Amino acid sequence: MLELLGTVLTGGATGIVGSILGKAFGFLEYWVEEKKKDNDHQRTLEMLEMQGKLRAEDRENEQRIASYTHDTGIGMGSQWVIDLIRLVRPCLTFLLIIIVFVIYFSDPVGRDTIEASVIFMASTATLWWFGERAMRKK
């Protein structure tokens, strides 16, 4: 009888220890799964950041292509028209530079605002036209 009672108690104790160990391993398993999920989330975020950078580079390249499509997408026309169209951007650039000097050496009303705007446009056009050409691979 004592032997039966000892078997029941040790069996019960073993069951309780097994439940406690199972729960402990369950928490460990849960922790490992959470770490995996965190790593997956981190990798997903890194991939999204990389995709965003690639999209930004693609948009920049598309803008460059659209910028120069003006020169190449002129279709079939007479040579003087093609030459005239290709002179638009450089002529505008030099015209803006001339306007900067005219405004600088005269004294119109609102000179500061006009001067800042024209200087901005002239520097943008100059760097867009000549800077882009200088950066091209030859």
* 81 in a structural domain: no
pTM for the structure as a whole: 0.35
CA 55 to chain CA mean position, Å: 6
Look at 40 and 21; give whichever has higher pLDDT. 40
* 102 in a structural domain: yes
pLDDT at 64: 77
Range of the domain at 8: 1-75
Q: Are residues 69 and 93 in the same domain?
A: no
To 10 degrees, the CA torsion angle through 25, 31, 36, 38? Answer: 170
94 pLDDT tier (thresholds 50, 70, 90): confident
pLDDT at 138: 57
pLDDT at 79: 81
The beta-carbon contacts of 58-65 under 8 Å, at least 24 apart in sequence, are 64/132
Q: What's the pLDDT tens digit per position in 76-85?
A: 677 888 788 8
